[in-house]
Amino acid sequence: MDRPLKGKSLYNPQAAHLAVESLEDIGYVSKSVQCDLEYVRHPVGFPTDLSNGVPAILLADHFNASSIAFGTVLESAYGIGHERYRDYPIGAHYTFYSTLFNAVGLHLSLPMAGVSEVGTAMIVEKSPIGFVAQSCIRGTMNNPCLKCWKCFRKATLGRALELDSGSPATISSLLSREVKSKLLAYPISHENVVAFSMRRYPREEIDSDDSRILDSLLERVKGISDLDFLTRWYKPSQILVHSSWREDFTHKILDFLEVMPPKESSEIESWSMDSFLADPSTISAHDQLEDLFNEP
């Protein structure tokens, strides 16, 4: 699903192609399939969020596949970092699409649904094939754009986790117009990840501009609960992995992450930002952040 077929686009497929080629070079079975599904609709884009699975669905019999997996993370599945928790396995989205997949003899698997963006960064750092992973779809391999919302989250998280692969970019250099707009959303998309990163962001050797921005962002997210649980795996999510490979998956995930204890699982299931977002101090912190971003 390369863009563009013609004309200009912010998207650059180079990193994705190199990732597949790199996996093939070290012995993984990888297939690239050309597809122009995104051009069925106007404006160009996926008709649904699972549309990128269409080639795999059409080739499922050829590969004798029993399940197709997507990389949906904890924030997107269970609503953590958004306004409130949702019981995703019994929700409308999974119920509809899992039924649709089952109708053609396939299981819809979401192995990363119990792993936060924090956990996926830790997995990428530890995995022997983590070097092929890159969230930015605008830059080239090992050269992300450092202007998009994904780059802001990944770069600041890398610094917060003190990852070897973390970007050296400063906070102020990452504040494109798009990123400022995302940070001024209410709530911030994946606000838990932003809060985790800002609280652990190293202050050593940051300049006065970055210090002001960091302080303002910390004030904006300070009311969110302790977030250490984001470094661990939410085990109830294993129900979203096909039974035929659930046990193997569990062993594999435990090579990278610890399991959340019951207390932390309860924090997930009681997640709500309602009172935090209604708090006058949070609203005031948002306004102050907006004023800072509007400074000449």
Answer yes or no: do 180 and 214 share one domain.
yes
Residue 211 CB: number of other CB atoms within 10 A? 13
Helices (H), the chain: 14-25, 54-58, 74-78, 92-103, 117-126, 149-160, 177-183, 191-200, 208-221, 243-253, 262-269, 274-278, 280-293
Domain membership flag for residue 123: no
Q: How many structural domains is the chain composed of?
A: 2
Among 237, 241, 191, which Cα is nearest to 70's? 241
100 domain residue, yes or no: yes
For residue 96, what are the domain limits?
A: 14-116+229-266
pLDDT in tens, the chain (296 residues): 676 666 678 889 899 999 999 999 999 999 888 888 888 888 888 889 999 899 999 999 999 999 999 999 999 999 999 999 999 999 999 999 999 999 999 999 999 999 999 999 999 999 999 999 999 999 999 999 999 999 999 999 999 999 866 677 899 999 999 999 999 999 999 999 999 999 999 988 799 999 999 999 999 999 888 899 999 999 999 999 999 999 999 999 999 999 999 999 999 999 999 999 999 999 999 999 999 999 98
- Cα–Cα distances (Å) from 1 to 11, 40, 52, 144, in that order, read 11, 12, 8, 20
Going from the C-alpha of 75 to that of each of 55, 91, 189, 290, 296, the distances in angstroms are 26, 15, 9, 25, 34
Please give the biggest Cα pair distance in the chain: 59
Residue 128 belongs to some domain of the structure: no
Q: What are the structure tokens assigned to 271, written together?
A: 């997640």
Burial code (b: 16+ CB inside 10 Å, e: under 16) for 7-24 equals eeeeebeebbeebeeeee
Q: Are residues 279 and 180 part of one domain?
A: yes
Residue 31 lies in a domain: yes
Choose among 133, 128, 94: nearest CA to 15.
133
Q: From CA 76, how far away is CA 114, in angstroms rounded?
A: 10
Residues 222 and 240 occupy one common structural domain: no
Instruction: Say which amino acid occupies 150.
Output: K
Q: For residue 132, is it within any domain? A: no
- Of the candidates 101, 96, 123, 77, the one whose C-alpha atom is nearest the C-alpha of residue 239 is 77
Please report, in angstroms and rounded to a whole number, the separation of the first and last CA atoms in the chain.
40
Cβ neighbours for 140, distance < 8 A, ≥ 6 positions apart: 12, 14, 15
Residues 67 and 158 in one domain: no
Cα separation, 147 vs 15, in Å, equals 16
Statement to judge: residues 178 and 75 lie in one domain:
no
- Taking phi over 0 as left and psi of -120 to 50 as alpha, with beta for the rest, 64 belongs to left
